[in-house]
Amino acid sequence: MAFAVRIVNHQHNRMLNICDADLVGKTVKKSEFTLNINKSYFAERIVDQSEAEVLLRKSSIINMVGKETIALSVGLGIGSSKGVKEIDGIPFLLVFKF
């Protein structure tokens, strides 16, 4: 599985935007909420599972979209399935590790 990632470092925090690579370019909607899974926010580069695991462990703020991404995060004990929300059948999860 391939993951699209973008890393932002700010004031001693690493924010990771990560999604299933096949979701890049899609837009999902629910009522008035729209989630654009665009390249500029999520896809600075494409990584494999082992690099995605390292990035998930080392990041303090994580924006995740996609079934594979969230399954990986939950499997690592980083995210909780209780916090997962869905839009048009696409799951997303935000994690703050402070």
pLDDT average, residue stretch 50-70: 97
> Would you kindly state where each structural domain of the chain is located, as residue ranges?
3-96
The confidence score (pLDDT) of residue 41 equals 95
The confidence score (pLDDT) of residue 10 equals 87
Domain at 3-96, CATH class: alpha beta
Task: Give me the percent of the chain exceeding a pLDDT of 70.
Answer: 100
| Whether the predicted pLDDT of 2 surpasses 90 | yes
Task: Give me the percent of the chain exceeding a pLDDT of 90.
Answer: 88
**Distance (Å, whole) CA 48 – CA 95:** 21
pTM beyond 0.85, yes or no: yes
The confidence score (pLDDT) of residue 98 equals 79
| Whether the predicted pLDDT of 36 surpasses 90 | yes
